[in-house]
């Protein structure tokens, strides 16, 4: 993590990309256990945690919201999703089509985060070259 206000957005995007990578691993684990009896799918919600942290900052200014975020507190937790439900008689609640859709969605988000990080560095580079 870079400790300068100029890198606040990059730090958040880095956290988001890291969380997206972790979510990709969670989804891959869910897919690997699609035929495991009694397996319950896992999930995590970084975007919801970030949204909540941003609304608690007490300001409407986006730059100030980002600057006031406690980066160390943005640690999403992994949880069992719909643990009491199952799609099949063997107690497993993983649906392969849903997981593949989640995987595709998450991969798009991951590459969007990386693209946004590159754009932020390009902006900083442009300012420094002037």
pLDDT tens-digit readout, 76-108: 889 998 777 777 888 899 999 999 999 999 999
Q: What angle do CA 109, 113, 115 make, to 5 degrees?
A: 115
Residues 58, 51: contact at Cβ < 8 Å?
A: no
H-type alpha helices, the chain: 8-32, 46-55, 62-68, 96-129
pTM above 0.85, yes or no: no
- Residue 3: predicted pLDDT: 55
Question: What are the residues whose beta carbons fall under 8 Å from the beta carbon of 85, sequence distance 6 or more?
Answer: 93
Smallest Cα–Cα separation from 74: which of 98, 96, 102, 45?
45
- Partners of residue 80 on adjacent β-strands: 42
Rg (CA), the chain: 18
Total domains present in the chain: 1
Q: How far apart are the C-alpha atoms of 99 and 40, rounded to whole Å?
A: 12
Spatial distance between the Cα atoms of 67 and 59, rounded to a whole number of angstroms: 11
Which pLDDT belongs to residue 9? 83
For residue 62 the two structure tokens come to 């986006």
Low-confidence ranges of the chain (pLDDT < 50): none
> What is the domain range of residue 79?
5-129
User: Quick one: tokens of 78?
Assistant: 């992994």
């Amino acid at each position: 993590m870079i400790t300068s206000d100029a890198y606040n957005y990059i730090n958040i995007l880095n956290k988001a990309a890291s969380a997206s990578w972790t979510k990709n691993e969670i989804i891959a684990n869910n897919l690997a256990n699609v035929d495991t009896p009694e397996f319950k799918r896992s999930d995590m919600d970084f975007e919801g945690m970030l949204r909540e942290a941003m609304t608690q900052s007490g300001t409407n200014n986006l730059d100030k919201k980002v600057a006031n975020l406690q980066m160390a507190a943005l640690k999403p937790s992994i949880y069992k999703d719909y643990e009491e439900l199952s799609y099949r008689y063997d107690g497993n609640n993983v649906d392969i089509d849903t997981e593949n859709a989640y995987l595709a969605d998450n991969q798009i988000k991951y590459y969007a985060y990386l693209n946004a990080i590159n754009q932020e560095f390009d902006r900083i580079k442009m300012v420094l070259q002037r």
